[in-house]
Amino acid sequence: MTVIRLPDGTEKVFDFPVTVLDVASTIGPGLARAAVAGKVNGKLVDLNSEIDQDSELTIVTEKDADGLDIIRHSSAHLLAHAVKELFPEAQVTIGPVIEDGFYYDFSYKRPFTPEDLAAIEKRMHEITKRNLTIKRKIWDRSEAINFFKQQGEHYKAQIIESIPGDEDLSLYSQGDFTDLCRGPHVPTTAKLKVFKLMKVAGAYWRGDSNNEMLQRIYGTAWLTKEDQKNYLHRLEEAEKRDHRKIGKQLNLFHIQEEAPGMVFWHPKGWTLWQQIEQYMRQIQNDNEYMEIRTPQVIDKELWIQSGHWDNFRENMFVTDTDERSFAIKPMNCPGHVQVFKQGLKSYRDLPIRLAEFGSCHRNEASGALHGMMRVRAFTQDDAHIFCTEDQIQEEVVKFIHLLKCVYADFGFNDLLVKLSTRPVKRVGSDMQWDKSETALEAALKEAALDWEVQPGEGAFYGPKIEFSLRDCIGRVWQCGTLQLDFSMPERLGAEYVAEDNSRQIPVMLHRAILGSLERFIGILIENYAGAFPLWLAPVQAVVLNISKNQMDYAQKVTKELSSHGFRVDQDLRNEKITYKIREHSLQKLPYQIIVGDAEVSSNQVSVRTRSGHDLGQMTVIELVNRFNDEIALKI
């Protein structure tokens, strides 16, 4: 007798082994039609997987997140099937699921063309109409290797040879196409209805530049055509908002080959940077952080003590001088511990909050660099809080409230939060981990946040919270972090005098809100498409004269607005006013201030918004008040 427990607590009893599909059919025909897989005791399995012992079962449908991933995984195999039918000499390698889609890497004698992609996608649709059953079978290792070698699939043979010998070797077949895969997959190709091939790119075999360059075909797959249409629209919007294009259009920054992964800031871009840095500096001052500055280059011995040399060496820039090895800092935390250690600290001094706009360098792979989103030189709004274990929850709550306020000021109110708990390999006692995880959970509850637990994903030294924000077109960006660290203060000899006069090791909270300022500015550029709110705009307004008769008055208006602290340009060129308005509209300035003879005679200005709305005439002081109100509201 087999007892199957369902998520709602109900049980189904069978006198014989049953498949996942059998159980779904007993619940209802609609569920059986929608099912794509099952989750037995937490493990994803195929619909035709047999259950022969008491188990917990969840039926995975195409509408579930796991179900969509399975559809995308099966679509990758569908892609490989179509390529092999059209290009029999092509070798298939690996084809995983990625965010919003899938890819498959191929070895072929010539580059795939756009026409090839169109033909492959057409053949994929033809295969789905065949309604081929997708079957899983466990193979003998040597049998599988010989099978793929006979088919000329040498990459597949290599993959099998690298799989540990104690693992089952499963192959999936659909029609005459067979591929190596752990699965699970949809039951038939007819389940794959909405997909599109996107592009071809290069990718080295196993990510090693010493190996052959393969061709990676990217695709996307969805449950409905409407979902895919919305996704393609988001891609179009993302293309329009690309921070690299807008950065060039608005003359904010550039990156060049002589300094890969490092930003050259132009005057307007640096003005934007300064608005953000000064805002964060004031926020931190108001919340009792003390700003410090630590060296860029530090002896490798400190990095050995902190553990970074053993675990992060390949990402560090290293230099030698005076027969000593130094590293350009990839992060700020060891330096902050050195500041904490200067002078004996008492429990009465804690918490101590040290903040730094720390300039860091990491030797990221050149292929991973992407504008300001992935760089080698970056500045963090970094801070470390040294506290007692009893102060953890209070400090975390304060940080969460601070982070929410900062994100809201930048226009982000939709947050996604993840709590990463203890990994298998860790330091510290279970009692410490219990206390830390409980404190973080309690802080998240007190802050009224929903969160998702990531079991086992914490750092080896403590649990962490990740904060992601969602932009105006639905993309998610992970920015803020709070990490709880038992390890580094101890490794680097930090201590304080407790109430009983004993020497104790402080808890260290690593925290950042924006993360990398470069990356955050890139996110802002794309979120606002360069049309920044008034408080952030590098140039907040431009004064335009209609003719040379108003030059003196235009200069007077510019000077008066500037005296109130606003960032104002003037355009006194002998050009038609319509030309000037159009040109400055392309620069996405919040306001255009127009002066003609009527404005001069009434000692007023005409005001036009970025959207083209005419606000009519007003005095300069009325305009100053409008600007101040808008800046105060951060809109």
Where residue 312 falls among pLDDT bands split at 50, 70, 90?
Answer: confident
The verdict on whether 510 is a catalytic residue reads yes
The single residue of 510, 511, 580, 608 carrying the catalytic annotation is 510
The single residue of 380, 391, 393, 592 carrying the catalytic annotation is 380
The verdict on whether 384 is a catalytic residue reads yes
Residues flagged as binding site for Zn(2+): 333, 384, 510
Q: pLDDT above 90 covers what percent of the chain?
A: 86
DSSP 472: T
pLDDT surpassing 90 at residue 307: no
Buried b (16+ CB within 10 A) or exposed e, 388-407: bbebbbebbbbbbebbbebb
The single residue of 39, 362, 426, 608 carrying the catalytic annotation is 362
> What structural domains and CATH numbers belong to the chain?
2-61 (3.10.20.30), 66-225 (3.30.980.10), 253-528 (3.30.930.10), 541-633 (3.40.50.800)
pLDDT surpassing 80 at residue 46: yes
The single residue of 72, 308, 374, 464 carrying the catalytic annotation is 464
How buried is 99 (Cβ within 10 angstroms: 0-12 exposed, 13-18 middle, 19+ buried)?
exposed
The pLDDT tens digits for 478-520 are 999 999 998 899 999 999 999 999 999 999 999 999 999 999 9
pLDDT at 220: 97
Q: CA 254, CA 199: separation in Å to the nearest integer? A: 26
pLDDT at 450: 92
pLDDT at 365: 87
Report CA 312 to chain centroid distance, whole Å.
21
pLDDT surpassing 90 at residue 91: yes
Residue 180 β-bridge partners: 171
Place of tokens 């809109």: 635
pLDDT surpassing 90 at residue 547: yes
The verdict on whether 181 is a catalytic residue reads no
The single residue of 39, 81, 243, 384 carrying the catalytic annotation is 384
pLDDT at 209: 81
**Cα–Cα nearest to 89, from 73, 113, 72, 112:** 112
The answer to whether the CB of 64 falls within 8 A of the CB of 88 is: no
pLDDT surpassing 90 at residue 252: yes
| CA–CA distances in Å: residue 321 to residues 56, 310, 316 | 62, 21, 16
At 321, list the tokens. 């001088």
DSSP 234: H
DSSP 327-352: EE-S-SHHHHHHHHHSS--BGGG--E
**Cα–Cα nearest to 532, from 430, 364, 410, 395:** 410
Higher pLDDT, 216 or 16: 216
Give the 3-state secondary structure of residue 195.
strand
pLDDT at 563: 97
Task: With both helix axes pointing from N to C terminus, report the angle between 430-446 and 392-409 in degrees, rounded to the nearest 10.
Answer: 40
Residues flagged as binding site: 333, 384, 510
pLDDT surpassing 80 at residue 427: no
Radius of gyration of the chain (CA): 30
Quote the Cα angle for 507-513-514, to 5°.
140
**Cα–Cα nearest to 241, from 527, 2, 585, 535:** 527
pLDDT at 461: 81
- The answer to which of 84-88, 125-129, 242-246, 454-458 has the lowest mean pLDDT is 454-458
The verdict on whether 199 is a catalytic residue reads no
pLDDT surpassing 90 at residue 311: no
**Cα–Cα nearest to 606, from 545, 516, 517:** 545
Return all residues near 215 (Cβ < 8 A) that are at least 6 apart: 105, 106, 107, 108, 111, 112, 200, 201, 202, 203
| Over residues 409-421, mean pLDDT | 95
| Over residues 242-251, mean pLDDT | 97
The pLDDT tens digits for 124-171 are 999 999 999 999 999 998 999 999 999 999 999 999 998 887 778 999
pLDDT at 487: 87
The verdict on whether 333 is a catalytic residue reads yes
pTM above 0.95, yes or no: no
The single residue of 382, 471, 485, 571 carrying the catalytic annotation is 382
| Over residues 160-188, mean pLDDT | 90
The pLDDT tens digits for 75-85 are 999 999 999 99
pLDDT surpassing 90 at residue 207: no
